[in-house]
Structure 1
Amino acid sequence: MASMSFAQPFFKRALHTIPNPTFFFNHKSLFHPPSGIGICHLAQAVKGENGVLLKGVGGYNEEVKQIIEMAKRASLRREVLHTDFLTPPVLKDSMMLIEKLADVKTSVQGGYPEAERCRLSVGHPEALTTDPDIVAALSISGNFSFQPCSHGDFLGSILGTGIVRDKLGDILLQGEKGAHVLVVPELVDFLTMSLEKVGNVSVTCKKMPLIALEYEPPRTKTFKTVEASMRIDAIASAGFKISRSKLVGLISDGDVRVNWATVTKNNTTIKSGDMISVSGKGRLKIGEVNETKKGKFAVELIRFL
């Protein structure tokens, strides 16, 4: 099958460029309003033998299972397939399972070395010979001197154009200058035309080369807390310096996530290595956990600033 791309700036026009949308792996559209249209960039297929495929991925979420099925297709058809941007847990689980597949090569790209959200390409070794061009960068610039905007402000404004989150990678804040954003290449034209404001600041959105991205390791603050349990309502309230009742309310509103999955129960147990994020509050990583002589838990918390 020939390679396909989504380069039209308007979604309605792009519908006519997809001859067989049901073939594609990802059945989420680029935008929220339409449904049932999947966009997945495909590389040139190469004929050949079938590989040995992994059987049984029970216990993993549906996203991981779909990625494994995609890897199987890539091996059988000797082609290259790509995911959208994946969260670290999904990428980790997928890579662990794909390692057990024969005749499958992978390529992980997030736009820069320390990228958190990355796209995964899978293909037969004879087909996936170079890293595909599947990540693009945008510079969002404006006068943020008097109206600073947060990561959430940029994310909210971009999603406000109708784009789904999976089509966006990391957002790298640039202080008063704005931000650099990683996206799927198919959305570059749309965003450069559609994104006009972030918060109350008028912005200009332009494509930029990946090599020009400016980034630095995230700033963190590490401290410890002693809690009676490892329940999320106890740990997160201590980590974000808010009352437990307010944290419970945020959980009820769907604003609390653990490893990028929304939490629905206050008594959800967390462990070392988990990442907690709260809308409007930021992120918190659970470091070393030790049980005290009195049966409580001394927890190292790493707050991202």
Structure 2
Amino acid sequence: MAAASVTSPWLLRKAFQALAFSQPLHTNKHLSFYGNLCSFPFQYPLRSSGLCHIAQVIKGDNDVLLKGVGDKSAIEEVKHILDTARRAATRREIFHTDFLTPPVLKESMIVLQKLADVKAVAQGGYPQAERCRLSIGHSEVFTNDPNVVAAINISGNFSFEPCSHGDFLGAILGKGIAREKLGDIILQGEKGAHVLIVPELVDFLMSTLDKVANVSVSCIQIPLLALEYEPPRTQSFKTVEASLRVDALASAGFKISRSKLVNLISNGDVRVNWTTVTKNGTTLKTGDIVSVSGKGRLKIGEINRTKKGKFSVELIRYL
């Protein structure tokens, strides 16, 4: 994950371009919305200033700060963000991450609360964004929210050949752009899609992307305020299973056989909370997001025990 100082635009551009072509919410009481930017500002009642206060930031022990991270798969990324926050506070600069998945964003925010004089702002381009970038710096250097997300409209004749989220994502990644440089992809039906991306790659994507699946497309940059989005459509239903294993719940949620689901897991096509699952017996809990390549996503809702000792599980399928 890259981080660069906003005080050096030329270096920022070069750093992102170099990394872009290399072979990665729960809200809380601090959540607030600024226009179409999703921001989580953290400021603290520690009012002393100067070197002694910065020392409070530096002395924090990583092991202690990371001990409370609930999603163990996110620890390495959170640790990197924590190191970035220390550099930002010491240098009194602002650093930016790539687009983060919701679990990493959530865990990072919890850890960053424990650092003195550090402010973090999450931006995904619009309030409902799942993938967001974090801007991190000493609270005194934040004068406004950094502009670190850009939007591109991809249009074409999709009337006779509708394209999925995966079609758009595959076409963009096929140009050599790393996944972490992309935010959400907002489908627009027959009109195409809106894509959130790091500003440094806007010109490259607009000049190279000419086809999605078999549909010829054109790309233009649009203001974030022009984004068209709506709450995702879902379908909720219940299933009764003997266990909370991912192979059991996912097969029920996506209405495919358990043996086929096991094969998908073996092929690396199943993810829980945006992390690839490698074991069929992975246990799920309320709030987990399960995604299967080519099938979509579902969320695990309320879980209750039946009189016979089985599990009654609410499954929320994203349409």
Whether TM-score is above 0.5 comes out as: yes
1:200 aligns with 2:242: no
Q: RMSD of aligned C-alpha atoms?
A: 1.9
Please, what TM-score do these two structures have when normalized by structure 2? Answer: 0.83
Between the aligned partners of 1:185 and 1:95, the Cα distance in structure 2 is 23
1:167 aligns with 2:181: yes
1:30 aligns with 2:27: no
CA contact (8 A) 1:6 1:186 kept: no
Kindly provide the CA deviation profile for residues 9-65 of structure 1, in whole angstroms up to 9, marking residues without a partner as x: xxxxxxxx56xxxxxxx99810135xxxxxxxxxxxxx9632522322256521111
CA contact (8 A) 1:48 1:78 kept: no
- 1:211 partner letter: L
> Alignment length, in residue pairs?
277
Instruction: Return the match for 2:238 from 220, 224, 236.
Output: 224
Instruction: Return the match for 2:136 from 98, 103, 122.
Output: 122
Residue 155 of structure 1 is matched in structure 2 by 169
Between the aligned partners of 2:183 and 2:11, the Cα distance in structure 1 is 17
Kindly provide the CA deviation profile for residues 43-92 of structure 1, in whole angstroms up to 9, marking residues without a partner as x: xxxx9632522322256521111001111111111110010000110000
Instruction: Return the match for 1:284 from 286, 293, 298.
Output: 298
Q: CA deviation at 1:4?
A: 2.5
- 1:31 partner letter: F
Q: CA deviation at 1:5?
A: 4.2
- 1:238 partner letter: A
Question: Once structures 1 and 2 are overlaid, which stretch shifts more, 53-62 or 182-191?
Answer: 53-62
Q: CA deviation at 1:7?
A: 8.8
Residue 83 of structure 1 is matched in structure 2 by 97
Q: What are the ranges of 5 or more consecutive residues in structure 2 without an aligned counterpart?
A: 24-48
Q: CA deviation at 1:126?
A: 1.2
Between the aligned partners of 1:301 and 1:246, the Cα distance in structure 2 is 19
Instruction: Return the match for 2:9 from 4, 7, 13.
Output: 4
Instruction: Return the match for 1:275 from 282, 286, 289.
Output: 289
- Secondary structure (helix, strand or coil) at the match of 1:215 reads coil
Q: CA deviation at 1:274?
A: 0.3
Kindly provide the CA deviation profile for residues 111-135 of structure 1, in whole angstroms up to 9, marking residues without a partner as x: 0011110001110011122100100
CA contact (8 A) 2:17 2:201 kept: no
CA contact (8 A) 1:5 1:186 kept: no
- Secondary structure (helix, strand or coil) at the match of 2:56 reads coil
Kindly provide the CA deviation profile for residues 247-288 of structure 1, in whole angstroms up to 9, marking residues without a partner as x: 000000000000000000001111110000000000000000
Residues 1:5 and 1:174: Cα distance change in structure 2 (over 3 Å): farther
Q: CA deviation at 1:172?
A: 0.5
CA contact (8 A) 1:138 1:207 kept: yes
1:52 aligns with 2:52: no
Name the structure where helix makes up a greater proportion of residues. Answer: 2
Between the aligned partners of 1:138 and 1:161, the Cα distance in structure 2 is 15
Between the aligned partners of 1:91 and 1:27, the Cα distance in structure 2 is 23
CA contact (8 A) 2:17 2:200 kept: no
CA contact (8 A) 1:85 1:168 kept: yes
Residues 1:144 and 1:48: Cα distance change in structure 2 (over 3 Å): farther
CA contact (8 A) 1:275 1:286 kept: yes
Question: Once structures 1 and 2 are overlaid, which stretch shifts more, 50-59 or 209-218?
Answer: 50-59
- Secondary structure (helix, strand or coil) at the match of 1:182 reads strand
- 2:56 partner letter: V
